[in-house]
Amino acid sequence: MVALCQHRTKGAELPGGRLTLRGRLTAAFLAVVLGPVLLGAFFVGVTLSAVDHSRATERLGLAAAGVRTSIDALCQQLRAAADAVALVGDPAARSRAADQVVARGLAAAVRMADAAGRTTYATAGGPAGRWQDCAGSPATGAGALSARVGLRDPAGTDLGAVAAAQPVDRAFVARLAAVTGVGVTLLDDPGGITHTTEEQGVRAAVLAAAGKADGNRVTGTGDGRYVRRVGPSPGQPLPLVLSVPGERAPGLYGALIAAVALAALLAVLAAWRLARVTTRPLGELAGAVDRVARGDLSARVPVRSRDEVGRLASAFNRMTRETGTYVTALTSSRDQLRNHLAVLGDTLASTHDLQRILRVILDSAIAATGAQAGAVLLVDGDGVLVGRCVEGLTGRWPTPDPADPATLRVPVGAGVLGAVAATGEPLRGRWAPPDAPTGEPTCETYVAVPFATPGGAEPRGPDRPGHPPADGDPSGSDCAALGVLVLYDRVGGHEFHDDDVVTLRTFAGHAAVAVENVRVHEEAQRLSLTDPLTGLWNYRYLRESIRREVERANRFGRMLSVLALDLDRFKNVNDTWGHAAGDAVLVEFARRVRGVIREVDLAFRQGGEEFVVLLPETDARGATIVAERLGAVVRDQPVAVEGSGDEPVWVPVTVSIGIAVYPDHAAGGQQVLDAADDALYAAKAAGRDGYRLAPAPDPVPTREIPVVAAGAGPPDGLPRAGAADPAGTAQGGASSGPHPPRQSRGR
């Protein structure tokens, strides 16, 4: 390399011995480039070694914490097992409890001793060797880990102790290695190896390095491994050695030296070449570069030749022109993106309308990437991707006459969109026609990214008719809802690239947040209207529902029946079997109510053991049929609750029901509730376990208002207000006639 440098510089000397510009540029370039290359190579070597040691130290630190955590968890499990045996009062039952603890895998063996330390009972198959107490002094050579719990009678007299143990064997060490992800070696008393997961060839090196390691210090071995000792110490009584292989590649320094030599050779060649072609235009190019750096993109370099420097000048001029075009386009795109992001932020902050939010997200993604069409799809309960928001898909369907061109439906796992939803990985590329129809639109290019939200199944909102989730589970489904954001055919015909995937992931994240926010909002709204124990609607939603149902009955000329229910002698249930049994009775009663009423009927827990059922479009006859069914389904089958023993206790339950019908018994929502409540008290007074219909209200008294008859008829012969009828009798004033007949439903 030195000879080559001398050869190059000799050709660049003037007759007077002075170097030309080319020689000076070559020497300067070599001085500037080779120095940093050498320093960089040295820094890279040192840095890689330090990074390797740091990563190994971090891995071993995490592994040491994992070992302590695992051993502490095992000790807590053994202590819990010993406590479970010690809590048994009867010695014979205590032995059976010890056998059950071992049979359930809570401990490998249980040993009981009296106050003098003599073993009174030990389970079969206990580990051999010394049992190392988890809370005892750290030691080596243990055959098992154990937890010891003292036995005392009610007076506090020491009766002995119970010890539960788990063997410290090869399987135990292997489990520690699997948990921590590093090699684990268990040492014995003389400093030898008891059990290890290391290969035969590295055990000696690990043992030698372990002898030098102390405390938290990490020591390296000759073959590139790192070793750290863990214990014995309080809380971790086992002497363990953790080891991991280094990540530094073999022959690193030789490769660095070769790279430096190659860089030096390339630097000499490049310096000579640059010095040769860079002469006169350098000043002009430097001036133009300075103008561009100050923001003047109109700067141009005169092209004086067609050699390399001339081409450089032409390329510089072309670059400045294209840069100006790009800057203008980027400025416009930035302004558009700012506007879309502002609209997106305002939409996310101001509304819970999922359709509107998804529309804004899709439009913003299309504008940011230059796509011609796109869609946002969410997985429904049948495992099918359904297009919740589409744009520009007209004319892109695979068949000329699709059954439903406005709906995009793709099964999960089918086609491109189904694969993205199934694997959770984004896809982009050119469209290839599938072997079988998948329901996807056709295109030239595409890019699709997935997004997921926790608890993605759409909850049932309070405005949805029917019932809250059954079995007292107001939380709904916790299944994750998967969605896909897809764009088609970029403007200009170019394929989508990785930057578009990154951009689309950002918008998909907004879509995931939108879906989650809407779900949380609907769930919070539903929980505020639901009784947490029974899963029925609560009193707050009762007030809203009675108002809405009365308005609907008025609007359509229908009837609304109200059932007020009260469990008979419910206080006796709580006093006899406890409040937990009372809660079980309420939950079972709510379940039976849901099983009797229709989907359109509404059931509420008003408070305590009081319930209300609204029966839209139902007259008194239909309401009594429902009341009879409710009474029978509650009366015929007692409720099973947990008793003091293993067998359940059957609690007989009956219900009293009051019935009121709007508008026959009241003129408003609260009045019909009060009428049903009064009827409920009448059912209670009549002996309970039955129903009573609210009495019809007293009719409003009316009186005739005399109207003077007209003396002469009008010229057209038509009757007028106040005119006498043909029989000569005066028409009375306004009176309250009977209500129109109501529709009765058969039950």
> What spatial distance separates the first Cα and last Cα of the chain, rounded to whole Å?
104
Separation between Cα atoms, residue 243 and residue 68, nearest integer Å: 16
Residues 189 and 91 in one domain: yes
- Of 350, 373, 393, the one marking the end of a domain is 350
733 within domain boundaries: no
699 within domain boundaries: no
Q: Give pLDDT, residue 4.
A: 42
274 within domain boundaries: no
279 within domain boundaries: no
Among 402, 398, 381, smallest CA distance to 432 is for: 398
Q: Give pLDDT, residue 638.
A: 92
The two three-digit tokens of residue 18, written as one number: 């002075």
DSSP SS3 for 63: helix
Residues 185 and 99 in one domain: yes
CATH number reported for the structural domain that contains residue 592 in this entry: 3.30.70.270
Separation between Cα atoms, residue 537 and residue 465, nearest integer Å: 12
702 within domain boundaries: no
Strands (E), 15-106: none
Residues 632 and 559 in one domain: yes
- Of 693, 712, 739, the one marking the end of a domain is 693
Residues 416 and 462 in one domain: yes
The two three-digit tokens of residue 708, written as one number: 């003077």
Residues 170 and 223 in one domain: yes
The two three-digit tokens of residue 176, written as one number: 């520690």
Separation between Cα atoms, residue 273 and residue 76, nearest integer Å: 74
For the chain, 747 residues long, the average pLDDT of each consecutive 10-residue run is 45 51 71 76 76 80 83 85 81 82 84 82 80 74 80 78 85 83 75 74 69 71 76 76 75 73 78 64 75 81 75 83 78 66 63 76 81 84 80 67 59 83 85 73 85 54 40 39 81 78 81 77 77 88 91 92 94 88 92 92 91 94 94 92 80 94 90 94 92 80 54 45 37 34 35
Q: Give pLDDT, residue 718.
A: 43
Residues 126 and 229 in one domain: yes
> Based on C-alpha coordinates, what's the Rg of the chain?
43
Residues 688 and 556 in one domain: yes
Separation between Cα atoms, residue 145 and residue 75, nearest integer Å: 7
Q: Give pLDDT, residue 741.
A: 36
The two three-digit tokens of residue 11, written as one number: 């050709």
Give the HSE-up count for residue 379: Cα atoms under 13 Å, Cβ half-sphere. Answer: 28
Residues 327 and 254 in one domain: no
443 within domain boundaries: yes
Separation between Cα atoms, residue 209 and residue 112, nearest integer Å: 41
- Of 505, 526, 547, the one marking the end of a domain is 526
Q: Give pLDDT, residue 67.
A: 82
Separation between Cα atoms, residue 536 and residue 656, nearest integer Å: 19
CATH number reported for the structural domain that contains residue 432 in this entry: 3.30.450.40
Separation between Cα atoms, residue 548 and residue 542, nearest integer Å: 10
Separation between Cα atoms, residue 200 and residue 186, nearest integer Å: 15
| Torsion (CA) 25, 30, 33, 38 in degrees, nearest 10 | -170
DSSP SS3 for 736: coil
> 0.85 exceeded by the pTM?
no
Separation between Cα atoms, residue 631 and residue 566, nearest integer Å: 11
Residues 590 and 498 in one domain: no
40 within domain boundaries: no
The two three-digit tokens of residue 245, written as one number: 């292989």
The CA distances from residue 272 to 6, 9, 478, in Å, are 12, 9, 69
Residues 213 and 110 in one domain: yes
Which range of residues forms the domain containing residue 681?
539-693
Separation between Cα atoms, residue 408 and residue 380, nearest integer Å: 12
Domains contained in the chain, number: 4
180 within domain boundaries: yes
Q: Which strands make up the sheet holding 560-567, listed edge to edge?
A: 602-607, 610-616, 560-567, 655-662, 691-693
DSSP SS3 for 506: helix
Residues 375 and 328 in one domain: no
Separation between Cα atoms, residue 29 and residue 272, nearest integer Å: 9
Residues 368 and 337 in one domain: no
